[in-house]
Structure 1
Amino acid sequence: MTLDEIQAYLIAEFPQVFGKPGIAVDRAADGVAALHFTPGEEHLRPGRIVSGPTLMMLADAAAYAALLSLPADARMAVTTNLNVTFLRATPADGAIVQEARVIKSGKRLSIIVCEAFGADGAVLAHATMTYAMPIIAPVS
């Protein structure tokens, strides 16, 4: 899928995330994707830092966009493992940039690495993910 196709698909299929202002896929091609996200009040935990589940959602969204940018049809791919390391508190001010890169695209499993960056360029979180790829049965 092209960047425009990926953006339209994500808005149509995941309006609860991509239909809201503050998040968008900036680039997606050849197994690499990046999105930006501006957190709102609903994404914060005490201390006004971005919650862990929010950072995990961003990693998952960027990884999925990276998979969609590859030639294989990954629309039915599903996350089977997500391992995230939170490196520093993520302040609520400023956009977060989430980058993802497919490091192995397989018939059954694909592996993606992701990093979230703060407005100052500091790495906020590092994630590795495994996606189960859809098995397309031949039509008889």
Structure 2
Amino acid sequence: MTLSEIRDYLAAEFPQVFESNDITVDAAAGGVATMRLLPAEKHLRPGGIISGPTLMMLADAAAYAALLSLSDGAKMAVTTNLNISFLRAAPPGAPIRQSATVVKAGRRLAVVVAEAFDPAEALLAHTTMTYAMPGSDARVVS
């Protein structure tokens, strides 16, 4: 998918994340994606720093965009594992840049590494994720 297609797809399928424009997809091509978060009060935890769940969501969203940049067949990819290391506190009000790179794109599994940076390019969090890549024969069980 192209950058424009990824932006449109994410806005349509995940409006709860992308409709407020506090998260933008800056780039996505060739298995690499970059997003930017302009933190708001809703992203804070007690102590006035960006919450862990916010940083996890940002890493997962950037990884998904990186997968989509390889193939629209990644639309049904689901996170099966996410491991995040929080390295330093992210201050409120400062934009966070999240990068994600697909390091292995297999037929059934994909592995993605993502990193979050503050405006001074200090590393805030390092994340590794594994995604299940359901094929066209995959069944949804409810």
**Could you say whether these structures have the same fold, taking a TM-score greater than 0.5 normalized by the shorter chain as the test?**
yes
After superposing on structure 2, the runs of 4+ consecutive aligned residues of structure 1 that deviate more than 2 Å are: none
1:93, distance to aligned residue in structure 2 (A): 2.2
Residue 126 of structure 1, CA deviation: 0.1
Find out whether 1:98 has 2:98 as its counterpart: yes
Distance 2:76 2:130 in 1: 14
Superposition pairs of residues 1-140 of structure 1, within 5 angstroms: 1-71=1-71, 73-137=73-137
Report the secondary structure of 2:60's partner residue.
helix
Over the aligned positions, Cα root-mean-square deviation in angstroms equals 1.1
Structure 2 gap ranges (5+): none
Aligned residues with identical type, % of pairs: 63
Deviation at 1:119, TM superposition (A): 1.1
CA distance in 2, matches of 1:4, 1:134: 24
**Deviations, residues 67-114 of structure 1 (Å, cap 9, x unaligned):** 000036100000000000000011012100000000000000000000
How far apart, in 1, do the equivalents of 2:63 and 2:28 lie? 10
Cα distance between partner residues in 1 of 2:23 and 2:57: 11
> Which consecutive unaligned segments of at least 5 residues does structure 1 have?
none
- With normalisation by structure 1, the TM-score equals 0.96
- Deviations along 1:30-79, one digit per CA (max 9) or x if unpaired, are 00000000111011011210000000000000000000000361000000
